Amino acid sequence: MASKDIRLWVRERPANALGLDWAWSHSYTPTGETRPASVAVRLRLVNPGAEPWTLAGAALVDSTGEEVDLTRWQEAPIPANGAGAVVVGIKGERAQLGCPCTLKLWEAQGPRTVTFVNVTFPVSQQAAP
């Protein structure tokens, strides 16, 4: 498993409903393999709005335009004028995306979306010689 702090490289869209506090990407490549078996992104998001924000969906769009739905986890809604974490990811053949990617998040009950560009994943290990 490899992890990478991507906060300095990720770019937020001006129309984002939430701000980005920190962002880490993760990848897992099994021994002897050259492509990741799974990838994930952990984000701490800041909600400047007057209503809580609950993650309903997430997708990753790679550099070729392929869009993949992501599994998502959020312990609790991000409170109004507060912060909270979300984790999104994918495993299997679909984890082998060409990045940098665009990450899209949307809420359960409303139009507030969040989009980040230039999301990349670390190389977790090299193939065996």
92, 93, 96, 102 alpha-carbon torsion, rounded to 10°: -80
Q: What is the pLDDT of residue 124?
A: 66
pTM, 2 dp: 0.90
Buried b (16+ CB within 10 A) or exposed e, 66-75: eeeebeeebe
Written as tens digits, the pLDDT of the chain (129 aa) is: 899 999 999 999 999 999 999 999 999 988 888 888 899 999 999 999 999 999 999 999 998 999 999 999 999 999 999 999 999 999 887 777 888 999 999 997 778 999 999 999 998 655 444
Rounded Cα distance between 90 and 57, Å, is 13
